[in-house]
Structure 1
């Protein structure tokens, strides 16, 4: 089970980094979302997966599930949703102002590499 979860986190992180390094804005946004999902799964599994255990300690329970990773992931989901909305609006604004969706705002048709000075 640990190998499967670690492989999933690694695959999502790798795909997210690949998409972040693309030259268009939409793959960059998808890459950031994939990296966020990978971090959320990593945080959730750091609290160990406990099956059929209560989240609150009681006298008759054999053990309990740690609620801290669940709270961290819930907070991370809310923050990532807000940041994704901000990045999408910024990408839309850059597209409307620059008439291209390249992340470096260079015009691919003119052969101009942009102002690098």
Structure 2
């Protein structure tokens, strides 16, 4: 199972880096999204999730789930949503001002 998760995180990271290095804005937005998915999955898996255990410590429960990874992932989801919205608005503004969607800003016919 660990190998499968490692492969998934690696593929998401590789796709995110590849798309982030492209010359147009839409693949850059997709690349940043893939990178945020990879980070979210990595944070969630590093928390060693336990199924069927309560996240609150009480006297009669021996095993409990750590709520910190879930809180970190929820925070990362909100931050990545805000970042994606900002990059989309920034790319639309650049497209309207320059007339193309090249990341480097050079006009290509």
The answer to which of 51-60 and 81-90 deviates more is 51-60
Secondary structure of the corresponding residue to residue 90 of structure 2: helix
**RMSD over equivalenced CA pairs, Å:** 0.9
- TM-score, scaled relative to structure 1: 0.89
| Deviation per residue, 1:56-113 (Å, 9 max, x gap) | 112222301110010011011111111111110000000000000000111222xxxx
Q: Are 1:58 and 2:58 an aligned pair?
A: yes
Deviation at 1:55, TM superposition (A): 0.8
Q: Which runs of no fewer than 5 residues in structure 2 stay unpaired?
A: none
Q: State the aligned residue count.
A: 109
Higher alpha-carbon Rg: 1
| Greater RCO (CA < 8 Å, at least 6 residues apart) | 2
Runs of 4 or more off by more than 6 Å in structure 1? Answer: none
- TM-score, scaled relative to structure 2: 0.96
Secondary structure of the corresponding residue to residue 56 of structure 2: coil
